[in-house]
């Protein structure tokens, strides 16, 4: 097993192998290591941004919880789930990766979760920008009792920063 792939949690390694197959890169050890290296860098960037933004990690966010969250999937996609306002949420899904089998980005006002957002489980929507995501690696919420508007602002800002950083990771690690 390669240097980078061996640093990824066991339950995610198979997912990284599948991403490599659909990446458009040669399906070989070198490509697998590039994808694994990019995943590790994205995980570290996500963790750093959560700290910088004053957010905290949770294992689960109940679907009817008023808080919004930012989630990182096994495949390195970002899911920005806005706070619950009048029974609905604004949701943005961004696949900042090299996958060719999922949309690059999708967004939907009036979204509704069909189940709790939980680590190691998919996010599923009754109404949403996508039907479901790959399994979730990390979930972060705003600390304290912020208004829906402040949460939306903080989560959107963290998402934007991460999108830009993830694109740079892809340029330097995967596409070099």
pLDDT tens digits, one per residue of 20-57:
888 778 889 998 999 999 999 999 999 999 999 999 99
Strand intervals (E) in 8-166: 55-58, 60-61, 69-73, 78-81, 89-94, 105-113, 117-118, 125-127, 136-142
> If we measure between CA atoms, which residue out of 120, 69, 104 comes closest to residue 90?
69
Model pLDDT for residues 148-172, shown as the tens digit of each residue: 999 999 999 999 999 999 989 988 7
The C-alpha atoms of residue 5 and residue 33 are separated, in whole angstroms, by 6
Where residue 102 falls among pLDDT bands split at 50, 70, 90? low
Q: DSSP character for 173?
A: I
β-strand 117-118 against 69-73: which pairing, if any? unpaired
List of residues 6+ apart from 47 with CB closer than 8 A: 138
Rounded average pLDDT over 126-154: 94
DSSP string, 18-43: HHHHTSSS-SSHHHHHHHHHHHHHHH
Q: pTM value? A: 0.91
Give the pLDDT of residue 19.
84
Taken as a whole, the chain contains a residue count of 176
């Amino acid at each position: 097993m390669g240097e980078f792939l061996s640093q990824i949690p066991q339950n995610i390694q198979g997912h990284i192998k599948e991403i490599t197959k659909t990446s458009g890169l040669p399906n070989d050890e070198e490509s697998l290591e590039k994808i694994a290296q990019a995943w590790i860098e994205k995980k570290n960037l996500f963790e750093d941004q959560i700290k910088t933004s004053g957010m905290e990690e949770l294992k689960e966010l109940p679907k009817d919880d008023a808080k919004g969250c930012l989630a990182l999937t096994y495949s390195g996609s970002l899911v920005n789930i806005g706070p619950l306002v009048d029974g609905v949420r604004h949701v943005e899904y961004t696949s900042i990766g090299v996958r060719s089998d999922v949309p690059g980005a999708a967004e939907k006002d009036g979204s509704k979760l069909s189940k709790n957002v939980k680590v190691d489980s998919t996010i599923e929507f009754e109404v949403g920008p996508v039907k479901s995501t790959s399994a979730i690696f990390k979930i972060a919420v705003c600390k304290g009792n912020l208004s829906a508007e402040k949460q939306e602002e903080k989560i959107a800002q963290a998402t934007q920063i991460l999108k830009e950083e993830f694109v740079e990771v892809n340029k330097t690690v995967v596409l070099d």
